[in-house]
Structure 1
């Protein structure tokens, strides 16, 4: 064949688009649930419909795709379901910003028209993230694409809500929640971003009711004191425990507060006395419930203070109220002092407004009742990889709070609950009720929508058609593995576990693989603010998708964050070029049709060696993929393709191809076998270049590499003896090349080599592979034997007990080389003296950063090793001149 079957250079953009379209148009990844094959299924963690692909997505998609393509090769019936999340708050914010540019708000449109506007936005912009998923080469079944607001999932959400409500697992009540004053909605704990900010501890005197003194309270939020309903001390604190049951007077307000005792109070923090504000602090809420305290909410939903805060403060924002309260406290002698204090402040994950703890009437899921079963399922029914995350998973479930699922926005699944205006009856139903039990038709639906995570928690079974009994649900549930980031282990993974067990009576997935973070090359988290973000779409356009995928895979060690740089992606672009050029060389040496078969057990050593290494690659690929050791998958392929196949085997067969006859036929057949199977093995990691190479190989009969089975094992080709023999030949060739390089002899200079062999068996090995050694080491002759004598002017090396000797006469000018070496040794000695001087300087070692000191130590070792090598070479030349 001609190498022109492939263009001279690999251009990934054209190749990738063509194969993406081919696979999607031909529905290559659309499985039949009625077909044979053990089921294997994955649901894609649905990205937000507002989102754009980032490196976390790119890693997640790459790992899932490797698993799906590999399992198809293993003969399994694979379903990988794509889809997006409606992202309630985020999407509503995007559309509201559009409206603001038109000088409108959502209330100008009304609820129905606003929802229509959101759907229009989704139709126009909502597929951006899915198109980027396509760019990653994800082998998903696009015919089964789902959206958390599509009709089928909406039906399932209503059914789940109603059933949980009827079972007493969903309830409505007053509870403290995270409130965004800007978005005017409750937020789940995971929707609050915490950051350390500079603040202050304000020490305020609360007078004792009996006039005997005061208690000093330390607080970061003095404005909330207006809603205090108690003061707490630790009952084991001897300073204050005698005051439990007595009262203090709330400064500025003159309201009487009871002093309670609770071990929750940290004796060491602040003064050991705690103001308790149940309406505006999550921990205080729990104290209030425990001690039956009054709950006084002093905030409006826009974050300003209401009339319960008093006439002096009503209508003020929290910062304004804080300033005014501190001034009043100081004026009346209640402010003791203020200390600087850094503390965590919660912000809305979308608009970045400071979140307020706020008591509100909301809908809740009784998570404490669902959590025990989800905890018991791990690891008995579901395994988490790495196992270290089980402890985190259990900790969250052990400390779980009921989940606030209502959101005060318009975009989302509206809560299926209605209130009768005539009798006050609450009706919860999957369908809009025609009338109340009292006969009234004056029904009003709850204005709130469900938290986005509520529909996401049902994703593994609703995407397969639940509550209908579909063939997909029967075949593919539970799913095989969930691949996700650790940041949603608590808020999504655990919730899916609960819902799967509750409604399917089975765990939603057998394995959970938690992948690490992708950081920059310095190990820092990527963020737009620091300017260290690497855009995966940009990298794909610049270097190709396979280069990005292979880079991410090669660094995806279990439990270890990835330090990514553009240079590394560019480096694996060179790997693509290596594969491409190796294929072009192979095509030049292969016939137009499939080569004639030969007996693979009777071929020459270098063929036996590469076939045995190929068998090793198959086993290693299976073991590493099954164990989620993705980095080992990539590294094994890189070593085999670059080091063994390209650097060695393609060079080893060049004499065979020139020899013609049976030697050429054997080389062609082995090359054809290895190249085919190498592409199939690599395909899950690098789908595009392997598909393109595969398509031009002779004898594939239009078969698609995406449908090819995992290469069959050839146990008869696995030979440790062949690998050991070839390794000895290779190391001998390397030894000759090294001696030439050390002596500044041209690599192409033809020399003689003498080998003092350790045994007759080894001599036979060298004799049988003499032609290979002459060609690859650029030699005139090879003489072997146990009685070989080394001439005086020679250089030698020992390989596995065999002495490799190169006569140097006629190849080295010893006087010139000694002069060069003397000069180089002098420079190394000077540099080493300087480095050692630094390391002997106690001041440098004590004051310099640890990494700088270590760098100097490493430099000293490197210089010492170089000096030792040069001095040995110097002695060898002097001996040769005597």
Structure 2
């Protein structure tokens, strides 16, 4: 092995071998285990959320593959209707063209060309992350098979009356000219205004004052509503109001929805431009007047003076006219949630259009029952409340989009606007006996991307055909996804899969937290805190990082601010950490929290963990490569340390698998880290040296220790592999030929060893739990030994005694158990504690001035005579105490400063509190040392 671990030199070559060897395919043997990849957008690139979730999915996939399950990770991408169309339209706009210049067919062909050239970015990045889905089964939501499934579902639902066309309010993006889902609308608080307007009663007997944040919509008002029990207005219910500017008469109505405490208690009702008003309009059979065009300009329903004006220009004109006519009461500053399209940034309008809908009530009930009965479970369980909240208040689903890219709706219209739905135009004509001379035109709209995504669990398995995959891998084992799409994707998959297969789509739904930066802020380009997983894997210099974070920004001041922040945060850029360190970080962060702060220090720490594993493996190989490891047989005698590490590994394995079963990846990572770093790499490797390096050790003892060394390392690599695939593969290839022997000492043929090594760690069995190795007494004995050695080392550290100086130890209160353990562990204690002698004091026997440590009731004493210069040591400690006291005082002053506490971010304050706590502990320890040495 090379002296240092260099991820770049092994990762891509290793991955290519895995993929070309077909190791990602389902084996066809064992219990089925499958995962559905939430299909990333074809326009997308890997971000931290993807990296986090895909690490979890890959860890589960690799684990179950090694457990012998028939494991399939189904991969694919989503056609991303809006996003993809926008990408190609921008390319055309740069050439001075629009999609209308090309026409629909040519434009769609352009998109397919773009997909062939640039649509695979994210799947290539997934490979860099080490993910192991079956790439040969990669699908696309608009490939022929998936398109057939989409059409089949649409037609069948329409035949049952569950898909219909109707005119209703939708979220409308006036730039894209299409309806959009709630998930594509960002509601953020912005500074605005509240306009108060007088609405006079038609009979001249008075007026009502209404308040609105959108005065332009008054052109479409069809009522003013008050609460039926509001005594101020009860006498006005049923009267007419003469709407300013338009002169139309509109009624005063009563509705429980109105809040008498809000504003004046009077609410203008515009059914065509507000979702709540639309519902109220239906309850009271109010007219619905749309005053906007598709691009959010005033249409011909409005008075002549406003027609053709942009909605915001019309707002200014209407406010001016109201003021001139005396109908404007006042304007107040007002903060409000403004809905903007996530792609365009345009203010979204509630807009009345003809759209296609799915009537979901009958579909929702089986989906609710599946979770209530426990057939499907959420992890963590509390997310089922979110699911129920949406499902019990479900509304019909708008599934049409006014785009050119997507699954075109399989509906045709004749010249009288009669609608015919079918799989093809030929089927429609045959079904309805339409003559050849009857002209039909296909619906211009396409289906919402979420419609095809809802079919993912069964469409990817070959439905509507009966396939082996459908029988074997549906339901899948677990869905790993985010809480933001529980309704938009998860619930719809449950509804559609239950409807068309009678099965649930998945057994478990593991909901991950949202990755935020180290301060707990959401990662966004405008904040300049976005991290790219590939940058963390490969590294990036500071100028490239600044350029990446500020590219495309229209505001120079914001770009400058982000550049400054980036240079401060990463003065030297981001170093290359490699895939394994990043993946282990993701696993270690995968707690049950809703929000997860990503700390770069942890990535660095786990890169050190990789180095630790690498160096430990080099030590093992140096001691076993050209030596007898028992592979060819021979007597073996296992030391106390050998038996301990075997028992410790079994305990680790049990805890690791229990954590994975509960989807506690953070606990599994911690268990694996603790064993590998502290027990194996630190303690056990040191405990092997007294056996391997001693002339007093027999060949059977050395063979037993070498055998244990190589086999425990090999087993540990298999344990770590689901989280750290590359480094474990690289080391395993070197270790496997030396380790293919069980603890019984039975040999295997060299040919079998070499054949296994030519394969891969990823197709080896996961370590099996062996109760015969679980020895609690051995575990307790070595823990005693460790406490003994640590006690001596602490004394050396506190008294500033060289680690290499042999010491004489005195023992008091030694029990029979202590004596037994000391006798069994004498070689380890002598070597690791560097003791020259051990003397057990008799009861009442006095000891010279000593530094002490406790191991249970047993007292360890190291006489200090001749070991330290008392005065010099007290002087050194005094200086250290003085420095720490200054630091503590400075930190305490910061935290007592109200201005600092009120202005500093929570993360900064927490960091200062940690510094104070650490300083106070350090100070207490120094004082204790001072007192101990003073007493000598």
TM-score between the two structures when normalised by the length of structure 1: 0.95
Whole-angstrom distance in 2 between the partners of 1:861 and 1:809: 35
Higher relative CO (Cα under 8 Å, sequence separation at least 6) belongs to 1
Corresponding residue for 2:509? 512
* 1:351 shift after superposition: 1.3
Distance change (3 Å), C-alpha of 1:733 and 1:164? same
Distance change (3 Å), C-alpha of 1:844 and 1:135? closer
The SS at the match of 2:357 is strand
Corresponding residue for 2:853? 797
Corresponding residue for 1:8? 3
Which of 613, 618, 621 aligns to 1:587? It is 621
Corresponding residue for 1:765? 821
Which of 199, 204, 213 aligns to 2:197? It is 204
Which of 461, 465, 471 aligns to 2:462? It is 465
Whole-angstrom distance in 1 between the partners of 2:305 and 2:665: 63
Corresponding residue for 1:27? 22
Corresponding residue for 2:570? none
Corresponding residue for 1:3? none
2:519 and 2:905 in contact (8 A); partners too? no
Whole-angstrom distance in 1 between the partners of 2:899 and 2:169: 56
1:754 and 1:782 in contact (8 A); partners too? yes
The SS at the match of 1:312 is helix
- Say whether residues 1:667 and 2:726 are aligned partners: no
1:796-839 Cα distance to aligned partner (Å, 9 max, x none): 11111110110111211112223333444455566667777888
Runs of 5+ consecutive residues of structure 2 not aligned to the other structure: 539-575, 741-752
Whole-angstrom distance in 1 between the partners of 2:230 and 2:635: 83
- Say whether residues 1:558 and 2:592 are aligned partners: yes
Runs of 5+ consecutive residues of structure 1 not aligned to the other structure: 1-5
Distance change (3 Å), C-alpha of 1:658 and 1:821? closer
* 1:757 shift after superposition: 4.0
Instruction: Tell me how many residue pairs correspond in the alignment.
Output: 871
1:730-809 pair list within 5 angstroms: 730-784=786-840, 787=843, 789=845, 791-809=847-865
1:18-47 Cα distance to aligned partner (Å, 9 max, x none): 221111111111125xx3311111110000
Corresponding residue for 2:168? 175
- Say whether residues 1:678 and 2:716 are aligned partners: yes
* 1:107 shift after superposition: 1.0
* 1:779 shift after superposition: 1.9
* 1:332 shift after superposition: 0.5
Corresponding residue for 2:640? 605
1:757-796 Cα distance to aligned partner (Å, 9 max, x none): 4312211211221211111112212234654845323111
Which of 396, 399, 402 aligns to 1:402? It is 396
The SS at the match of 1:307 is coil
Whole-angstrom distance in 2 between the partners of 1:112 and 1:691: 49
Corresponding residue for 2:553? none
* 1:570 shift after superposition: 2.0
Whole-angstrom distance in 1 between the partners of 2:778 and 2:797: 28
Which of 473, 484, 489 aligns to 1:487? It is 484
Over aligned residue pairs, what C-alpha RMSD do you find?
Answer: 2.2
Whole-angstrom distance in 2 between the partners of 1:333 and 1:629: 66
Name which of structure 1's ranges 407-416 and 557-566 shifts more when overlaid on structure 2.
557-566
Which of 382, 387, 397 aligns to 1:388? It is 382
Distance change (3 Å), C-alpha of 1:879 and 1:60? closer
The SS at the match of 1:183 is coil
Which of 765, 774, 777 aligns to 1:721? It is 777
1:629-708 pair list within 5 angstroms: 629-659=664-694, 661-697=699-735, 698=738, 699=740, 700-703=753-756, 704-708=760-764
* 1:223 shift after superposition: 0.2
2:635 and 2:700 in contact (8 A); partners too? no
Which of 629, 633, 658 aligns to 1:623? It is 658
1:755 and 1:803 in contact (8 A); partners too? yes
1:47 and 1:83 in contact (8 A); partners too? yes
Whole-angstrom distance in 1 between the partners of 2:675 and 2:442: 64
* 1:873 shift after superposition: 3.1
Name which of structure 1's ranges 74-83 and 456-465 shifts more when overlaid on structure 2.
74-83
Whole-angstrom distance in 2 between the partners of 1:175 and 1:702: 66
- Say whether residues 1:521 and 2:518 are aligned partners: yes
* 1:194 shift after superposition: 1.3
2:51 and 2:533 in contact (8 A); partners too? yes
Whole-angstrom distance in 1 between the partners of 2:690 and 2:578: 35
Whole-angstrom distance in 2 between the partners of 1:479 and 1:151: 23
* 1:567 shift after superposition: 2.9
- Say whether residues 1:543 and 2:577 are aligned partners: yes
* 1:673 shift after superposition: 1.6
* 1:441 shift after superposition: 3.6
Name which of structure 1's ranges 821-830 and 640-649 shifts more when overlaid on structure 2.
821-830
The SS at the match of 1:653 is helix
* 1:866 shift after superposition: 4.1
Whole-angstrom distance in 1 between the partners of 2:901 and 2:523: 33
* 1:210 shift after superposition: 2.0
2:692 and 2:702 in contact (8 A); partners too? yes
1:754 and 1:790 in contact (8 A); partners too? no
Distance change (3 Å), C-alpha of 1:789 and 1:686? farther
Whole-angstrom distance in 1 between the partners of 2:819 and 2:82: 76
Name which of structure 1's ranges 430-439 and 228-237 shifts more when overlaid on structure 2.
430-439
1:384 and 1:511 in contact (8 A); partners too? yes
1:219-368 pair list within 5 angstroms: 219-368=212-361
1:316-345 Cα distance to aligned partner (Å, 9 max, x none): 001100000000000001001011111111
1:558 and 1:628 in contact (8 A); partners too? no
Whole-angstrom distance in 2 between the partners of 1:137 and 1:831: 45
Distance change (3 Å), C-alpha of 1:713 and 1:412? same
Whole-angstrom distance in 2 between the partners of 1:688 and 1:855: 34
Distance change (3 Å), C-alpha of 1:80 and 1:658? same
Corresponding residue for 2:550? none
* 1:303 shift after superposition: 1.0
Whole-angstrom distance in 1 between the partners of 2:105 and 2:902: 68
Corresponding residue for 2:414? 420
1:507-534 Cα distance to aligned partner (Å, 9 max, x none): 1111100000111111111111111111
The SS at the match of 2:700 is helix
Whole-angstrom distance in 2 between the partners of 1:595 and 1:128: 46
The SS at the match of 1:529 is helix
1:609-664 Cα distance to aligned partner (Å, 9 max, x none): 11111001111111000100000111111111111111111111012112351221
Whole-angstrom distance in 1 between the partners of 2:276 and 2:637: 77
Distance change (3 Å), C-alpha of 1:836 and 1:317? closer
Distance change (3 Å), C-alpha of 1:861 and 1:511? closer
The SS at the match of 1:41 is strand
- Say whether residues 1:818 and 2:874 are aligned partners: yes
